[in-house]
Amino acid sequence: MIIAPLLFREGETADIPSILKHFGLILLLAFGGVILTLFGLGYVLHWIIPTIPLAACLAFGASLGPTDAVAVSSLAKRLNIPDSIMHVLEGEGLINDATGVTAFQFAVAALLTGQFSAADASISLVESSIVGVLVGLVIMWVKNEIIKIIERISAQDISAYLLIELILPFLAYFIAELFHASGIIAAVVTGVLQATGFRRVNLFEAQLSNVTETSWGTISFMLNALVFIFLGIELSQVFSPVWNSRNYSNLHLLEIVLLLTALLFVLRFLFVSLFYIVTQGWRKSNEQLKDRLLLTFGGVKGTVSIATIFILPTTINGMDFPDRSLLLFITACVTFLTLIIGMIILPILSEGEVIPPTDPKLMLIFRDVISQLYDDLENKELSDKERFALQAVIANYQNRVQLVFNNSMPESAQQEFQEIQALIISVERDGLDESFRRHVIDSGAYRLYSRFISNVSESVTKQMLSLLSFWLIFVRRIIRIILHPKMFWERRKNQRETVDNEDISALRKVFLRNSEAILDSLENLRDVYDEDLIDFFVDERKNLMKQVENHGLFGTYLIQQDPLYSKELIRGFYLERKLIDEYEVNGDISNFVANDYRHQVNQLESYAIQQPSDPSIKFVMNRRKKKKNKNK
């Protein structure tokens, strides 16, 4: 119930053309590697602990056959690992998930019946896989015919289409199992075929694609989380009995886990090396030692291995199966150990940390948009409100330029960036709290400045802030409330929604004072952090100070809740699309890159149109208008 939809989704999102380029090695690892792991680990475990039935040991080996493509991608995304290696690992993860689970099912059947033949199991595995493929093909043919009927009677509905897709993996799995075939392979084939076919470009297909992506993202996350929740529940029940068992010492258990983990990688290395020697010769295979090692230590285990071992029965022929807890314990430990080893070894073997390339063309497009918006600002006779709206749109594009630059930094630099940003937020909030405590500003002004801080920090760090940095900021705020409860409750009690010109003037002074403290702190950090990062934050703060001194910063922030801002923002998107077209026609960017840029603009525009305004800020602005009219 858990594995089928997960593997269906993996098949649906797989890069099939890239996988086909390395299909020989992928197929060998997916079938030969799984069988080698099944027998290698199974027989060694049975030799170490003879009391465990051989079929159960083989089931254990089969559960550790599949590699986790998601875990590999997560480990490798910040490393310079060749694309060819990643395609092999991802393709292997897609196919051997199915073969591993199928081999596991045969081992469990042998455990329940007490009969096992290696030759018969291998033949049955191939037969089961072939029938599973055929079932997947038939299921997709039936599905396509149903879709044609729905379209013929003009009954297209996003919910119905999504429901059909969500049912597919379960339908393929159960029908294949009825024919004693591999339901897992049927689910994978169904997923691969779901992603193929003629792609029509219309509004319905676009809406369906967005809903499907979001739904599957949520479902995949929940199913993966569910596996580890079940693992936690199971381990909480089996860990203590296994760890405290008199049958095995703790040291012996650790030795078993270490030995099996080492054997897992050794068998994989030998198998990969054999393929390279046979296909490329001894001399060339030695030149590609790093590739072989990357393929070896990239074969980490994950969700599928843990979910598979859960299928082990709790009873055999009506009698309890006491070794189930031990097998679950060893499988979980080996799985986690492979992940840890992969995290340690892969960075050493790779060509260093990935430094994402800065997208110069996109930054040029942004700067051209900013230049045209500045021309509008200078050449038009604008009201203050229109000027604030244009300045807010310009600030939005400047933030996007900064984000492109930030995303081009290596992970180590991003970590430093987060730490400095967290420090700036803390200094600014401390200064704000101190000003409120000294009655320099009141509760209404406090709330406006507090929201402004959140807005500025999110514009830079929304996609970068780490969990640790978030918790550091959160904990600091909790500590402030604990240390100054009177101030917190006084602020809550005396909340005032209106903000007048005197408040804005007071906020301007507080902001400039806080900025001076931030600049001093940044200067003191020059010996600790990279000079370029410090200069970036210093320049950013000085630009904000100039806006405040020109009486534009807080007005620019407040105008973002006005429909006029949305109007000017949409004009910015129009200019951006126009520039993308010009760059594409001039040959400065490819059609593929231009379409990617357009996709980003479409997403932003859709969000900008749908984004609800902040009701509290809108309320403040309305109260200010009423107050002014009343004074008149």
Residues 344 and 372 in one domain: no
**pLDDT tens-digit series, residues 82-95:** 778 888 887 887 77
Total-model pTM? 0.61
Residue 601 has pLDDT above 60, yes or no: yes
- Which of 330, 349, 368 marks a domain boundary? 349
Q: Which of 130, 123, 224 is nearest to 186 (CA)?
A: 130
Residues 371 and 429 in one domain: yes
Residues 284 and 401 in one domain: no
CB 139 within 8 A of CB 174: no
Alpha-carbon gap, residue 576 to 593, rounded angstroms: 14
Instruction: For residue 319, list its beta bridge partners.
Output: 316
The range of the structural domain enclosing residue 225 comes to 3-349
Give the three-class secondary structure for 50: coil
Q: Say which CATH number the domain at 101 has.
A: 1.20.1530.20
- Which of 327, 349, 371 marks a domain boundary? 349
pLDDT of amino acid 126: 78
Residues 339 and 401 in one domain: no
Residues 87 and 229 in one domain: yes
Residues 181 and 136 in one domain: yes
Residue 370 has pLDDT above 50, yes or no: yes
CA distances from 22 to 31, 73, 78, 229, 461 (A): 14, 17, 23, 35, 39
Is residue 262 one of the residues assigned to a domain? yes
Alpha-carbon gap, residue 226 to 314, rounded angstroms: 20
- Which of 307, 329, 349 marks a domain boundary? 349
Is residue 354 one of the residues assigned to a domain? no
Residues 164 and 285 in one domain: yes
Residues 254 and 365 in one domain: no
Residues 340 and 372 in one domain: no
Residues 389 and 251 in one domain: no
pLDDT of amino acid 171: 92
Written as one letter, the residue type at 261 is T
At 462, the pLDDT band (50, 70, 90 cuts) reads: very low
Alpha-carbon gap, residue 42 to 380, rounded angstroms: 78
Is residue 355 one of the residues assigned to a domain? no
If one counts the domains in the chain, the total is: 2
Residues 197 and 167 in one domain: yes
Q: What is the DSSP code string of 486-518? A: HHHHHHHHT------HHHHHHHHHHHHHHHHHH
pLDDT of amino acid 262: 94
Residue 44 has pLDDT above 90, yes or no: yes
Residues 309 and 417 in one domain: no
pLDDT of amino acid 627: 52
Alpha-carbon gap, residue 507 to 555, rounded angstroms: 12
